A = this chain, B = another copy of it.
């Protein structure tokens, strides 16, 4: 499915989100009549998965003159520490004030995508849904969910993130629904009654009773319409353990519900995924939130390496264009 072009906020285009020294630089150079054709390169501070390039290109497309060149890696490619992943060659004044935004797109989205990829790798094929929208500022919830899907998540929970990533949003039901209905079975039956058929019937089973007990009550009530249960046991009750998953599986099987799936959420990390897999917990899917959202950005550095075709660099960098055969012409 074709992904829509990501929107760029007006405040970004206007330079309002830029570091003020870039705005001042623009002013000084304008008044000094200086606007050399400059090549600027971006590299990351650590290994990871590159994400944010679609927004980078969307922004540059709107601001660069016709004779500019942009080379880079593509969305979702792996990258190494200090590897050049983006090179812009154009009159400096045409893009100088966007250094802040360009580095920002890449830094935060690459951080999220890289963390998502770690979970996906750990799960070895078991699907993962991005559940972290509640841990980030809503202005970037969609970008975060999009990056998680670029990192390999099957889907995500925010509507707008799913739209950006061209997937169907996923989720089960919140504790609030159950608490408003006052009973898990009642809430599950209402959910089943009122929602379209294509919404999966996955019921949250840790609200009022022990998970194993609640799973059986729900399964008895919904029978073959129940597609899965979600275990989200709070830390106060020890969190979800492999033993709990195995027991719920065993009790469901014993009661004749071998096709009801088990989803797990709450504090899921790559380490816990690996541990549960090694312990043989029969899990059909994970919801991952804070592991992805708490991953720090992968900081990017931008350096000018050529001015009007002459190699140049500040101390600590090597003058001249940095060779990287992986780069493709993007603009």
Contacts and interface: CB of A to CB of B under 8 A. Distances in A.
A20 B170 contact: yes
Interface in A195-211: 195, 199, 206-210
A272 interface: no
Nearest to A178: B314
A176 interface: yes
Contacts of A109: 137
B25 A320 contact: no
Interface residues of A, number: 119
A157 B209 contact: no
Contact of A299 (B21, B194, B290): B290
B107 A134 contact: yes
Interface stretch (A66-74, A119-127, A232-240): A232-240
Contacts of A100: 133-134, 138, 141, 158
Nearest to A304: B179
Q: How many copies of this chain does the complex contain?
A: 6
Given A28-B191, A160-B11, A254-B320, A104 B179 contact: no
A194 B109 CA distance: 37
Interface in A216-268: 233-239, 241, 243-244, 246-247, 250-251, 254
Interface of A: 9, 11-12, 15-25, 27-29, 31-32, 34, 36, 38, 40, 52, 92, 96, 99-101, 103-105, 107-109, 131, 133-143, 157-163, 169-182, 187, 190-191, 193-195, 199, 206-210, 212-213, 233-239, 241, 243-244, 246-247, 250-251, 254, 289-290, 293-297, 299-300, 303-304, 307, 311-320
**For the complex of A and B, 6 pairs with smallest distance between CB atoms:** A238-B238, A294-B296, A234-B316, A236-B243, A21-B171, A236-B316
